[in-house]
Amino acid sequence: MKQEVSHLFFDSFGVPAKSMAFAPGRIEFIGNHTDYNGGLVMGAAVTEGVFVAVAPRADRKISLFSRSAGLVETSLDSLEPLEGEAFWANYPLGVTKVLLENGLSLSHGFNLAVDSNLPIGAGLSSSAAFELSTAYVLAELCGFEADKKTFAQFCRRAENEFVGMPCGILDQGVSAFGQADSLVCIDCADELFGTKAMPTGTHFWIFNSNKKHALVESAYSDRHKECHDALAILQKGYPEAETLSQISQSQLDATADELGDLLYRRACHIVGENDRVRLVEAALDEGDLAAVGAALSVSHMSSRDNFANSTPELDFLAEALNELDSVYGARLTGGGFGGAVMAFTSDAFASADADLVAKAYQKEFGLEATVLHTRAGNGGCLL
């Protein structure tokens, strides 16, 4: 892919690229919507990701070319979010703006080309991979230095403030801190990043449902707001709690009437997910993969029943996969409202099993489920 993006750059702009970078997509292993609630989450970078190439220009124009989305041109002097077909340019433009606000010295515009071998909009976070790879090439171009955590925070800010998506640190954090054959563990309260080895003989299989709610972004924002509203009610009784993740199940139960059914269930999901992350960490340490898998399956049910961020398509895939002996556990991965299901499997799960699940899915919904067998890979880097 390095060659491909280098050629794409040359074909688009007629000069060689000066800097190139890769950043991976990610799997959300366990810990759904906990990141922006100050909680715990475990993810893994995948080996697929986004490749970006860049070179400076003599004028102040910014010219962006995506193999999948085409050309967008703007200027360093008008860094404002774009709408319609050019929306995709907001990811690199947002990163440019945040870096400029934080000391990047860029007197000229630039040409940028982007290529990807990651499914886009499938819940594997192509957006964060695009942001981080852009940050790395711009930093190299301008001699700007920062550590991985700072880059992840800048990219999150670009997505929150420029793109308008109120995501937590999971996507950008895992894309930056990914490590081959390892899970990335994040304590989002203090933004502490660690890694944990994947048990040997385990695999990730991703089933993209190829079906998304029309209004994923607003559904995500609704959940963000519901969590905020639930916390505000809980804080009346527990003012010391700064986030939903500092609330216990018994405190939640004691506040059930004040919360009402909907906010109670939303908060239950967050509190339960944090508990499941702790459980999974302990089970991984003990090598109890059945317990890990059970927590993944329960997580999916909580998404379905409490957080209402699943879909019939994701439910079908998760249920079909959870029935198989070679699958430890399966759950939706990422924000939900469409996207993909992740299956955490043993060596015994094979392409033939994936085909059977995809066939059953096709029969039920008349849709193709795209299957990706992947593994935990390294974080973003310059190429």
Query: E strand or H helix at 274, and its extent?
Result: helix 256-286
Q: Which of 35, 77, 147, 171 is catalytic?
A: 171
Distance from the Cα of residue 306 to its chain's centroid:
21
The residue with its CB nearest to Mg ion is 127
Query: Binding to ligand ADP by residue 116, rule CB under 6 A?
Result: yes
Which of 22, 29, 65, 91 touches ligand ADP by CB under 6 A?
Answer: 91
Query: Binding to ligand ADP by residue 333, rule CB under 6 A?
Result: no
Mark 135-169 as b/e (b = at least 16 C-beta within 10 Å): bbbbbbbbebebebbebbbbbbbbbbebbebbbbb
Q: Is 171 annotated in the active site?
A: yes
User: Rounded CA gap, 108 and 57, in Å?
Assistant: 6
E-state strands within the chain? 19-30, 40-56, 61-66, 70-75, 110-116, 182-187, 192-197, 202-212, 327-333, 338-346, 370-374, 381-382
Stretch in the footprint of ligand ADP (CB under 6 A) among 53-61, 62-70, 132-140, 357-365: 62-70
Query: Binding to ligand ADP by residue 93, rule CB under 6 A?
Result: no
Q: Give phi and psi for 16, each to the nearest 5.
A: -75, 155
Which of 9, 29, 36, 88 touches ligand ADP by CB under 6 A?
Answer: 88
Which of 81, 121, 194, 199 touches ligand ADP by CB under 6 A?
Answer: 121
Question: Is residue 110 within 8 Å of 141, Cβ to Cβ?
Answer: yes
Q: What is the nearest approach in angstroms of ligand ADP to the Cβ of residue 43?
A: 13
Query: Binding to ligand ADP by residue 243, rule CB under 6 A?
Result: no
Q: What is the nearest approach in angstroms of ligand ADP to the Cβ of residue 261?
A: 30
User: Rounded CA gap, 104 and 97, in Å?
Assistant: 9
Query: Binding to ligand ADP by residue 120, rule CB under 6 A?
Result: yes
Which of 87, 228, 253, 351 touches ligand ADP by CB under 6 A?
Answer: 87
Residue found by looking up tokens 């409202």 in the block: 337
Query: Binding to ligand ADP by residue 68, rule CB under 6 A?
Result: yes
Question: Is residue 343 within 8 Å of 204, Cβ to Cβ?
Answer: yes
| Closer of 163 and 358 to ligand ADP (Cβ) | 163
| Token representation of residue 126 | 């192509």
Stretch in the footprint of Mg ion (CB under 5 A) among 127-135, 207-215, 260-268, 312-320: 127-135
| Closer of 117 and 346 to Mg ion (Cβ) | 117
Query: Binding to Mg ion by residue 322, rule CB under 5 A?
Result: no
| Closer of 272 and 377 to ligand ADP (Cβ) | 377
Residue 87: name its binding partner from ligand ADP, Mg ion, none (Cβ under 5 to 8 Å by kind). Answer: ligand ADP
Query: Binding to Mg ion by residue 175, rule CB under 5 A?
Result: no
Mutual angle of helices 312-322 and 351-365, in 10-degree steps: 150
| Closer of 210 and 243 to ligand ADP (Cβ) | 210
Question: Is residue 25 within 8 Å of 35, Cβ to Cβ?
Answer: no
User: Rounded CA gap, 337 and 311, in Å?
Assistant: 6
Point out which residues bind Mg ion (CB under 5 A): 125, 127
By annotation, the residues acting in catalysis are: 171
Contact set with ligand ADP (CB under 6 A):
50, 66, 68-69, 87-88, 91, 114, 116, 120-127, 130, 334
